C-alpha cells in the first residue's frame, strides 16, 4: 500500500487548435523545396517536411490544458484553489469578441485559443490577488462550468 493520495481529476481538456489552423502549414514544405531547388531539391523537400512536422508538433504541445482536480483549477501553467472562485460565466457567442477586446481588463489572466469559440470567465474573490478574473477558451464550457460548481460544493 502506498501513502500517496491519488489525484482525483474531475475534468481535463486540451484546447488544441481546430484542424483548419494546420492548413497554412501545407505551404511550408513547397516553400523550402523551391528555396533549395537550385542547390538540391531533395534536401529542400526533407527540410520542408521536418519544419512542417516541428511546427505542427509545437502547435499541439503548446495548447493549453484545463484541469479540475483536488480542489484546484489549472489552466495552462496557472493554478488556483476552487474556493477562491466567486463566479463562473460562460460568455455568450455574441459577446466573445467584446470580452477578448474592448471589455478585457489588462490585469486578467488570459489563455485563448483563437480557433475555439467557447469562452469562460472565472471571477476571483481573493482580495490579495490583483487578477480580477481568468478568461480562457474551452471546447466544452457548459460541462466545465458544471464541474467547477460541483467541485466548489
Strand partners, 111: 136
pTM comes to 0.82
Q: What is the pLDDT of residues 2-30, one digit of tens each?
A: 444 556 888 999 999 999 999 999 999 99
Kindly state whether residues 55 and 103 are assigned to the same domain: no
Using only the alpha carbons of the chain, give its radius of gyration. Answer: 20
- Which letter, b or e, does each residue of 32-71 get, where b requires 16 or more Cβ atoms within 10 Å of its Cβ? bbeebeeeeeeebbebbeeebeeeeeeeeeebbebbbbee
* Mean pLDDT across 39-63: 95
What is the three-class DSSP state of 68? strand
Q: What is the pLDDT of residues 128-149, one digit of tens each?
A: 889 999 999 999 999 999 999 8
Kindly state whether residues 99 and 134 are assigned to the same domain: yes
List the grid coordinates of 144: 466545465
Q: What is the pLDDT of residues 81-135, one digit of tens each?
A: 999 999 999 999 999 999 999 999 999 999 999 888 899 999 999 888 899 999 9
Residue 26 belongs to domain spanning:
17-61
d(CA 39, CA 43): 8
Kindly state whether residues 76 and 112 are assigned to the same domain: yes
Amino acid at each position: 500500500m502506498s501513502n500517496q493520495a491519488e489525484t482525483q481529476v474531475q475534468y481535463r481538456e486540451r484546447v488544441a487548435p481546430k484542424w483548419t489552423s494546420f492548413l497554412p502549414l501545407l505551404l511550408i514544405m513547397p516553400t523550402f523545396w523551391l528555396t533549395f531547388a537550385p542547390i538540391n531539391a531533395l534536401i529542400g523537400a526533407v527540410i520542408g517536411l521536418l519544419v512542417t512536422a516541428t511546427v505542427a508538433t509545437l502547435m499541439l504541445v503548446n495548447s493549453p490544458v484545463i484541469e479540475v482536480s483536488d480542489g484546484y483549477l489549472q489552466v495552462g501553467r496557472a493554478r488556483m484553489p476552487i474556493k477562491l472562485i466567486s463566479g463562473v460565466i460562460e460568455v455568450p457567442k455574441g459577446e466573445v469578441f467584446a470580452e477578448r477586446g474592448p471589455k478585457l481588463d489588462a490585469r486578467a489572466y488570459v489563455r485563448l485559443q483563437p480557433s475555439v469559440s467557447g469562452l469562460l470567465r472565472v471571477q476571483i474573490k481573493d482580495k490579495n490577488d490583483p487578477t480580477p478574473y481568468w478568461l480562457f477558451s474551452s471546447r466544452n464550457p457548459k460541462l466545465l462550468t458544471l464541474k467547477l460548481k460541483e467541485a466548489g460544493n
